[in-house]
Structure 1
Amino acid sequence: MNSSDKIYTLPQLQEKLQVWRAQGQKIVFTNGCFDLLHLGHVDYLEKARQLGDKLVLGLNTDASISRIKGPSRPLQDEMSRARVMASLLFVDAVVLFDDNTPLELIKAVQPDILVKGDDYAVEQIVGHEVVMAKGGEVKTVPLVKGYSTTNIVKKIENQLNENR
């Protein structure tokens, strides 16, 4: 299997979800920008996948990241980010979404478990009402402190400024 085989359109993902559910698989969902993959991401996604059988990752499009984080982001284009994320053995599916939040995607996926980092309270997690209303779970996993794409970008910028 190639990593690109794990990148789905929403209709393709919905077909795959039907197969997984028919097999009794528990679906875990998380989302994010994942602009520069770092240890914090790997640890978080690995922990998320351990909560169920299949991990679906909603990935912000370039346009949605620019709206949320500003015109200098993302650093990598959406297909590059999707391939990198799909290459992780504990990520079973990647689907792009263009909204500012993943609410509509969560409604479409209907995961058994919705996961975010422990920098969120459950009631702050977008889509928690949708998942809990159908008897699903909303969980947070501990984040590795000190790792963020924003911090990496700042460190690079500081080093460039020092070398000028």
Structure 2
Amino acid sequence: MVVPSHRDGGQAQFIDAPVPTCRDDLLGAVLDWAAAHLAEEISVDDLARRALMSSRSFARRFKATTGTTPHAWLLGQRLAAAEELLENSDASIEEIARLVGFGTAAGLREQFTRRRGVSPRAYRQTFRSAAASAAGTTPVQLDGHRPRAGGVRRDQALVEAGLGQPA
């Protein structure tokens, strides 16, 4: 059976692709840490230090375990977090970009459009009402939050709260 990759009207197909669980305890702990610190700048060297490995050994083990590179995995996690916030919050694109680690709205827009085929604004318009009505709740409100010096921990708690993860 052949299925077209795009719907009529230019709407791209969106399929939930769950991340497989990591059976490697040490690598799993590093992945959990990275997922909880998306707003921070994270390098392969940082992840390797957390795993108590050299960068090359970490990259090889990461690829063997997850099937992808650390950079691609991190980008996927950031995009998934951005999708969640676009669907369930009133935060601006700029704020979402900062909260999930893209830094700037331009960076988020570029990666989101490249990987998802639509802009963050179009994604929000398409999926926000569907997500809110399916959950039977109102979207998470992040409008009142504004960054302040040293506010990374507070930002992180808001992201985790908005994503339903432990704060």
Interval of TM-score (by shorter of Structure 1 and Structure 2): under 0.3
- Higher relative contact order (Cα pairs below 8 Å, separated by 6+ residues): 1
Higher helix share: 2
Higher strand share: 1
- TM-score after normalising by structure 1: 0.26
Which has the greater radius of gyration?
2
- TM-score after normalising by structure 2: 0.25
